[in-house]
């Protein structure tokens, strides 16, 4: 299918999948430290990715698994396990989810920075355009701060040094994971996600059993089980697989990474839309939401400045 070989289409699938993350997580639990829900959702996610991998590789499943370098198992911890630890510590320090969520969305910025070091060929060779695109990523992040602080940026709690540091480390962790896995060949990108989620599940089970004492593997309520299944399949499964393939194909086709990274900043806006629809929280009439939307949209356009310039020259 053409859609599975188009990085922009895959990025949109990622956004559609991850957009449900905030809604599902909000419905699942109020306690962000419920390891049973996390463990179960990761287990379901691993089954979902396993199904996709078996369907994709068919008789080559075991050969593809053996082709995954050993260090991908360790890198996978950055995207799931280590990321969750930092987010958990940040949420505990802030005692809310809003500010850690904003800090988490520094990951596209870190991704761009690490890609400039790890894979220079993925960025624009024109220094002026590159500066504009980096500025655009910061502008997109500013749009998120406007969104989460409801237009009052001074309300953001920077005084919580530990919580702030842990939130930034969460963004750094996933940004580094995304950068390291950018050059994963598309023929093993799904398998790379599979080993990442399985390795992280094993690590999280050990942590929940021996550090946070014994935690049930199965959530206590039927509602939590059902929502954890959806979270595992949609967010941990489809979302991660689509994003991994989008990065791999972008690398192979030499597509500027900012063209798909800029799309990610629409994710929280779509998340809020879903929350407003399903939970009745209406934000569309507020000025700060419109300002945030415009800021993110301008960021998106600036990231595509090369395409816009090329289009103008044809007129």
pLDDT value at 214 more than 60: no
pLDDT tens per residue, range 5-15:
777 788 888 88
- If one compares 64 and 133, the residue with the highest pLDDT of the two is 64
Q: Which pLDDT value is given to residue 169?
A: 92
CA–CA dist 46, 23 (Å, integer): 21
Highest mean pLDDT among 141-155, 198-212, 268-282: 198-212
Q: Is 157 helix (H, G, I), strand (E, B) or coil?
A: coil
CA–CA dist 278, 258 (Å, integer): 32
Q: Which pLDDT value is given to residue 31?
A: 47
Residue owning tokens 């075991």: 62
Closest CA to 35 of 237, 272, 205: 205
* Token pair listed for 271: 């998340």
Q: Which pLDDT value is given to residue 311?
A: 53
Composition of the chain by helix, strand, coil, percent to 5: 80, 0, 20
pLDDT tens per residue, range 231-248:
888 888 888 888 888 878
Contact 288, 150 (CB under 8 A): yes
Contact 158, 67 (CB under 8 A): no
Handedness of CA 99, 102, 107, 109 (dihedral sign): negative
* Other CB atoms within 10 Å distance of the CB of residue 162: 12
Contact 300, 265 (CB under 8 A): yes
φ/ψ bin of 225: left (φ > 0), alpha (ψ from -120 to 50), beta (otherwise): alpha
Q: Which pLDDT value is given to residue 195?
A: 92
Q: Which pLDDT value is given to residue 77?
A: 92
- If one compares 58 and 280, the residue with the highest pLDDT of the two is 58
Q: Which pLDDT value is given to residue 308?
A: 63
Across the chain, mean pLDDT equals: 76
* Token pair listed for 253: 């086709």
pLDDT value at 315 more than 60: no
Contact 292, 146 (CB under 8 A): yes
Residue owning tokens 């500027």: 256
pLDDT value at 116 more than 60: yes
**108 band by pLDDT with thresholds 50, 70 and 90:** confident
DSSP code at position 263: G
pLDDT tens per residue, range 149-175:
767 777 665 567 788 888 889 889 988
Residue owning tokens 């630890």: 85
């Amino acid at each position: 299918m053409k859609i599975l070989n188009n990085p922009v289409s895959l990025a949109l699938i990622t956004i559609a999948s991850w957009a449900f993350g905030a809604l599902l997580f909000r419905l699942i639990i109020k306690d962000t430290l419920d390891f049973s829900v996390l463990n179960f959702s990761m287990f379901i996610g691993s089954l979902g990715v396993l199904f996709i991998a078996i369907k994709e590789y068919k008789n080559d499943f075991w050969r593809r698994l053996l082709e995954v370098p050993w260090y991908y198992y360790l890198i996978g911890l950055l995207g799931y396990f280590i990321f969750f630890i930092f987010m958990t510590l940040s949420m505990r320090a802030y005692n809310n989810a809003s500010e850690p969520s904003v800090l988490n969305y520094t990951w596209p910025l870190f991704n761009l920075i690490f890609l400039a070091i790890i894979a220079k060929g993925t960025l624009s060779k024109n220094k002026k355009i590159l500066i504009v695109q980096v500025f655009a990523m910061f502008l997109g992040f500013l749009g998120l701060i406007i969104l989460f602080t409801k237009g009052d940026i001074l309300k953001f709690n920077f005084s919580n040094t530990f919580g702030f540091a842990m939130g930034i480390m969460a963004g750094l962790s996933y940004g580094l994971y995304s950068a390291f896995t950018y050059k994963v060949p598309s023929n093993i990108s799904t398998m790379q996600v599979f080993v990442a989620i399985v390795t992280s599940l094993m690590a999280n089970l050990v942590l929940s059993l021996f550090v946070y004492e014994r935690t049930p593997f199965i959530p206590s309520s039927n509602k939590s089980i059902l929502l954890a299944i959806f979270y595992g399949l949609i967010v941990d499964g489809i979302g991660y697989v689509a994003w991994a393939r989008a990065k791999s194909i972008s690398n192979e086709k030499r597509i500027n990474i900012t063209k798909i990274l800029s799309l990610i900043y629409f994710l929280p806006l779509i998340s809020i839309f879903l929350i407003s629809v399903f939970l009745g929280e209406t934000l569309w009439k507020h000025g700060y939401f419109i300002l945030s939307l415009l800021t993110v949209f301008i960021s998106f356009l600036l990231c595509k400045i090369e395409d816009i310039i090329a289009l103008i020259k044809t007129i």
